[in-house]
Amino acid sequence: MTSADQLVPGVEVAVDVGPVAHGGHCVARHDGRVIFVRHAIPGERVLARVTEGAPGDRFVRADAVRVLHPDARRVEPSCPVAGPGGCGGCDFQHVQIGHQRELKARVVAEQLRRLAGLDRDVVVEPLDDAGGLGYRTRVELAVTTGEGGDAPPFVGLRRHRSHAVVPISDCPIADAPVREGIAAAAADARAGGLDPGTVAVDVVGPSGEGDVLLLEVDDSGDAERVSVRERVEAAGESHELSVDARGFWQVHRDAPRAFVEAVLDAAGAGAGDRVLDLYSGVGLFTVPLAAAVGARGQVVAVESDPLATRHLEANLAGLDQAVALRGRVDDVLGVARSGRRQRGRRGAAPARSPLIPPSADVVVLDPPRTGAGGPVVRAIAQLGPRTVVYVACDPAALARDTAPLAEHGYRLDALRAFDAFPMTHHVECVATFQRG
């Protein structure tokens, strides 16, 4: 039998696949060593080929390269590069879509249990797409010449945990216009039609007026600056927002609608309320929240990215009750950034922005994957909102940030989870915390 210390890249062992874990893999064990196996389903028996790991490591990574006992919910992937050694974008193309959602629900529930001590039944709701395909409105393609450098360039997507590029000319999780854009970029690359020095092509399919865009990115990360219009029809209203084509926008074509409706419903903001919309981006939630609080209310949106803030200001034009505040959330709330030196003093708190009101009725926050962190969450609680709506793209960060809210008397009242990234392990949560 292969011993735990012999589990090095290339070695294959037959394993029984255990539970799904956060990150798109399942947990198996061999000779006492944990193996994170991709392309497997809990309950299966598979031949796992080690892809990363060395003797003495706490765990090794592996791909299921042969299925010895398949789960009944195993399906043929729609994409030819979705399997072991292929594109790293999709983790779950081999799993029937309903079961993907069940696996993600288990991950969210497990993160809440482990990191926040909360027992919750979680349901992952589908968005409007073609059974988990045809949804992405943005894809960033890498451009490379491959080994040697004198071969013709090609476009592709990165392998899992690697810089290597898998050539593609189609991506079934992209929506129809973006798929056409990918095919066009692949043809351009083959024909030598990309500008010299292009390292990536961003394919962007906005929901408002305008065709799909192909933006060539140079090795300093720059591309032509283009603004696009995104139309959001949600809760019986229609909004059109201006966004930088390469700036943050929810990638699932139905996500802006679903998240706006979920946030409005959770926030329960009414006429005259004072609301903070933290990590606001270009104002996806700010604009409908401003409509909800009306002319007597107030919405303060905080966003650190200068370009996104410029679009935010443009999107708030005519909404006198809404103000855009450019800055980091921790800075404007007057919270010390952990580990940062400020004027020679480690972590000294900056002055709180005068535009942040002393109290708020509702706080909405939609931080990046790392979460908001304890100091920011505590500062939010100190504003005394009746409701905190936390939009989370990482359930582990949400679970970690739940504890400081609980310390201040906020309990998790409702949790919705959305399948905003089908075929991948990612899942979006909208958590509602109430005071008292």
Question: CB neighbours of 2 closer than 8 A, spacing ≥ 6?
Answer: 11, 13, 30, 31
Known binding-site residues for S-adenosyl-L-methionine equal 250, 279, 303, 366
Give the nearer residue to ligand SAM in terms of CB position, either 190 or 426: 426
Residue 2: which of 52, 65, 42, 55 has the closest Cα? 55
Active-site residue among 26, 79, 90, 393? 393
CB of 398 to ligand SAM, least distance (A): 12
What binding mask, one character per residue, do residues 316-335 give for ligand SAM by CB under 6 A, x or -? ------------xx------
| 393 included as an active-site residue | yes
What binding mask, one character per residue, do residues 346-385 give for ligand SAM by CB under 6 A, x or -? --------------------x-x-----------------
Phi/psi for 63 (5° steps) reads -110, 140
Tell me if 105 sits within 8 A of 417, measured CB to CB. yes
In the list 304, 336, 403, 434, the residue contacting ligand SAM (rule: CB under 6 A) is: 304
In the list 207, 242, 250, 387, the residue contacting ligand SAM (rule: CB under 6 A) is: 250
Give the nearer residue to ligand SAM in terms of CB position, either 162 or 382: 382
3-class secondary structure, 373: coil
Question: How far apart are the C-alpha atoms of 87 and 120, rounded to whole Å?
Answer: 33
Give the interface segment with ligand SAM, choosing from 65-73, 302-310, 395-403, 426-434 (CB under 6 A). 302-310
Question: How far apart are the C-alpha atoms of 111 and 412, rounded to whole Å?
Answer: 14
92 touching ligand SAM, by CB under 6 A: no
Give the nearer residue to ligand SAM in terms of CB position, either 133 or 278: 278
CB of 305 to ligand SAM, least distance (A): 4
Task: Give the containing element (helix H, strand E) for 216.
Answer: strand 213-218
Task: Give the containing element (helix H, strand E) for 168.
Answer: none
Judging by DSSP bridges, how do beta strands 138-144 and 59-69 pair with one another? unpaired
Q: Tell me the sheet residues that pair with 156.
A: 142, 167
CB of 382 to ligand SAM, least distance (A): 18
DSSP string, 45-111: EEEEEEEE--TT-SEEEEEEEEEEE--TTB---SSTT-STTSBSS-S-TTB-HHHHHHHHHHHHHHH
By beta-carbon distance, which residue lies closest to ligand SAM?
281
Tell me if 228 sits within 8 A of 245, measured CB to CB. yes
431 touching ligand SAM, by CB under 6 A: no
Question: How far apart are the C-alpha atoms of 303 and 327, rounded to whole Å?
Answer: 6
Tell me if 286 sits within 8 A of 322, measured CB to CB. yes
303 touching ligand SAM, by CB under 6 A: yes
Give the nearer residue to ligand SAM in terms of CB position, either 192 or 221: 221
Give the interface segment with ligand SAM, choosing from 16-24, 33-41, 80-88, 273-281 (CB under 6 A). 273-281
Catalytic residues: 393
For binding to ligand SAM (CB under 6 A), which residues are involved? 248, 250, 279-281, 284-285, 302-305, 308, 328-329, 366, 368, 393
